[in-house]
Structure 1
Amino acid sequence: MTDLRVTLAHTSQLSAAELAAVRALLDGAFAARPGGGDFTDADWDHSLGGMHALARDGAELVGHASVVQRRLLHRGRALRTGYVEAVAVRADRRGQGYGAAVMDAAERVIRGGYQLGALSSAEAATGFYTARGWQRWRGPTAALTPADGVLPTPDEDGSIHVLPLPGTSLDTTGGLTCDWRDGDVW
């Protein structure tokens, strides 16, 4: 990290060129992950409408994370949740602290405006998040669907992590239900 700078901006504050650069970064970073993977149009849509943490080394965009608002249901409460999406670092810059830098900014947003932080993590990234204080959700997960009500999401069990905040009571062995969205619901 020679000239690291992390900025926060709402989607509405980013120009079309800046959004295109973020999308290109995410497409490249996800494709370069072990096992590869596409960053879909639905994934892109999930990352919009909230705050973006943008890491730059000089003028180069090298990292990104976004925080969008969602409602997660737990123990009869609808929790205002800062949900982390689209965390990525350019492949040639991984392991240099850029991921931690964008997560520092994302976590500041969560602590400043939400009752809970949450994210869905690939198994390979679990250690990164738990080292930052995120806790793996151990209970069953579900989604509140528009047509069929609450449906279990067993394929997501074990991949959801939460960042508990003061004043929010959680039982991480209990049920957790997310609001509906197209694409991957978690």
Structure 2
Amino acid sequence: AGYVEGVGVRADRRRRGHAGAMMGELERMLRGAYDVGALGTTDQATDFYAARGWKRWRGPTSALTPAGVVRTRDDDGGVLVFPTTVTVDLDGELTCDWRDGEVW
């Protein structure tokens, strides 16, 4: 999976197509190199991503840590996926790799 870390546009530059252009390129790369893309979203941005074909992950989320798989309940409902070459079960468990900071 390819993970989109963050997308942000300065407030005075919004609604000019910048985020859409950037996401278009990111989605092109996801289609060319990954089975699925994923990102953590905010309530404010969910409609933007949904209009582009991103789907809300409805199942439980987890992280693969040095101590094993650990549930990330705070992230449940806040992760979107962008299937490219596979069909995904949006109600299944989704586990990301561990990293410093916010894992999703």
Please report the TM-score for the alignment, with normalisation by the length of structure 1.
Answer: 0.55
SS in 1 for 2:44: helix
2:64 alignment partner, one of 144, 147, 150: 144
Once residues 19 and 53 of structure 2 are traced to their aligned partners in structure 1, the CA distance between those partners, rounded to angstroms, is 15
Please show how residues 10-159 of structure 1 align to structure 2 within 5 Å: 81-146=1-66, 148-159=67-78
Query: Could you tell me which amino acid in structure 1 is paired with residue 97 of structure 2?
Result: D
SS in 1 for 2:3: strand
Query: Could you tell me which amino acid in structure 1 is paired with residue 21 of structure 2?
Result: A
Once residues 51 and 87 of structure 2 are traced to their aligned partners in structure 1, the CA distance between those partners, rounded to angstroms, is 21
Q: How many residues align?
A: 104
Unaligned runs of 5+ in 2: none
SS in 2 for 1:83: strand
Q: How much does 1:100 deviate?
A: 0.5
Please report the TM-score for the alignment, with normalisation by the length of structure 2.
Answer: 0.96
Unaligned runs of 5+ in 1: 1-80
Q: How much does 1:179 deviate?
A: 0.6
- CA deviation digits over 1:27-68, x for unaligned, max 9? xxxxxxxxxxxxxxxxxxxxxxxxxxxxxxxxxxxxxxxxxx
- CA deviation digits over 1:155-181, x for unaligned, max 9? 000000000112x13110010111110
Query: Which residue pairs with 1:22 in the alignment?
Result: none
Query: Which residue pairs with 1:161 in the alignment?
Result: 80
Where relative contact order (Cα < 8 A, 6+ residues apart) is larger, the structure is 2
Structure 1 stretches of 4+ with a deviation exceeding 3 A read: none
Once residues 169 and 86 of structure 1 are traced to their aligned partners in structure 2, the CA distance between those partners, rounded to angstroms, is 24
Once residues 86 and 141 of structure 1 are traced to their aligned partners in structure 2, the CA distance between those partners, rounded to angstroms, is 18
Q: Larger Cα Rg: Structure 1 or Structure 2?
A: 1
Please identify which structure carries the higher strand content: 1
